[in-house]
Structures are given as C-alpha cells and as structure tokens.
Amino acid sequence: MKKTLIPAFILASTLSVTAIAADNSGWFATAAIGQSDVDASDIELDQATNYKLLVGYDFTRNWAIGVEYADLGKFDVTSLFGDPLPADVSSFLEVDGVNFFGQYTQPINDSFSLFAKAGVYLWDLKATASGSEGSGSESDDGSDISWGVGAEFNVTDTAALAVEFQRFDIGGDNINTLTGGITFQF
C-alpha cells in the first residue's frame, strides 16, 4: 500500500505545483510615481518627481522579464563643483530612458510578496542652462545597469499595490528612486 501512496502523493504534489505556477504566469503592467535623488560628484541637484510605466511577463510564480519606460525627473541644479550657481542662472538636468530587466518574486503569503530585479537602462540625459548671458543645452546618452527591490500587496486577484526602491547608474553617477504604484495581471 505504501509503495502506491508515495508515488501518487509525489505525482499529486507535482501537479499542484505546476497548476500554481500556471496560475501565476502571464502578462502584467505597472504604473508608478515617486521621488528621485541624484548621488553625483561635482554637482548638487534637488530631488525630482519620477514616473515609470512597465510591462512584463511572469514565466512562473517567481521569475519574470519586462521592459519599463522610466522618466527619472527634471532636476534643478543648485551648485557645480561645490560653488552655488549665480542668482541669474537657472539650470536643469532631465533623465529618461528604457530599462530591460529580469525579476525574481518571493511570495510571503497569498497577499504579500517581495521582489528584486536587475537590468540594463538605456538612458538619455539633457542639461539646459539659461541666464542673463544667454542659454545653452547639452545632451548625452548611454547604457548602464539598474537594480531594485520592492514589495507588492494583492488588493484583488488581478491588482496589487507596489512600493519599490530602484537605482539607476548614469555614466558613473547614481539616481535613486522610491516609487509607489499599481500592478495589473492579465
């Protein structure tokens, strides 16, 4: 009798794990908004509002890939090389781009999960300055790594509230973001 029950139990366990994984696979989309802070050398910037829109695919309950558009914000430049800008000069720095990422999610219970993600951020940076002597702008682009950690709380079977800390490397400097948003499963 034991020889029959043990294989049957193992088979039933495998099928139920497969069913759970299948129920948690599929497309998802997230919209989030928050604050950005720049950790840069030789330049001091105020915080900025950021937002991101992303879409991804859960292959299993734990693993997903995705792509997100992340507008990291428009930052007021307050000083360069430790010296404050002249009173008649206003200067801004804007950063946005596309992030391709992989994500690991660890469910804690039916309603709450933690996640970590890493990816490659293809960024565009634009700096503008204007004052009594005139105005000018410069731009740059590149690709660097990004990573983040966060938590989700399921509100319904198809919607969850999310909070995330994410760091984007931009040409040797870092932009840290803290966002809150909503995720929908399809």
Closest CA to 36 of 18, 26, 15, 50: 50
pLDDT of 76 reads: 80
Q: What is the pTM (predicted TM-score) of this model?
A: 0.80
pLDDT of 43 reads: 66
- Indicate whether 54 belongs to any domain: yes
Range of the domain at 98: 26-185
- Indicate whether 20 belongs to any domain: no
Domain CATH for 56: 2.40.160.20
- Indicate whether 19 belongs to any domain: no
- Indicate whether 178 belongs to any domain: yes
Query: What is the C-alpha to C-alpha distance for residues 42 and 115, in angstroms, rounded to an integer?
Result: 33
- The count of structural domains within the chain is 1
- Indicate whether 6 belongs to any domain: no
Q: Is 157 left (phi over 0), alpha (psi -120 to 50) or beta?
A: alpha
Share of the chain above pLDDT 70, in %: 78
What average pLDDT does the segment 90-113 reach?
93
What average pLDDT does the segment 70-96 reach?
76
Least confident of 129-138, 161-170, 171-180: 129-138
- Indicate whether 40 belongs to any domain: yes
Report how far Cα 181 is from the mean position of its chain's Cα atoms. Answer: 11
Least confident of 42-51, 138-147, 162-171: 42-51
pLDDT of 17 reads: 40
Mean pLDDT taken over the chain? 84
pLDDT of 29 reads: 97
pLDDT of 131 reads: 76
Tens-digit pLDDT profile for residues 10-24: 444 444 343 344 456
pLDDT band of residue 78 (cuts 50, 70, 90) is low
Q: Tokens at residue 120, please?
A: 């490659």
pLDDT of 85 reads: 60
- Indicate whether 91 belongs to any domain: yes
3-state secondary structure the chain: CHHHHHHHHHHHHHHHHHHHHHHCCEEEEEEEEEEEEEECCCEEECCEEEEEEEEEEECCCCEEEEEEEEEEEEEEEEEECCEECCCCCEEEEEEEEEEEEEEEEEECCCCEEEEEEEEEEEEEEEEEEEECCEEEEEEEEEEEEEEEEEEEEECCCCEEEEEEEEEEEECCEEEEEEEEEEEEEC
Query: What is the C-alpha to C-alpha distance for residues 25 and 57, in angstroms, rounded to an integer?
Result: 7
Query: What is the C-alpha to C-alpha distance for residues 162 and 79, in angstroms, rounded to an integer?
Result: 34
**Beta bridge mates, 100:** 67, 120
Tens-digit pLDDT profile for residues 130-154: 877 777 888 999 999 999 999 999 9
pLDDT of 97 reads: 97
- Indicate whether 106 belongs to any domain: yes
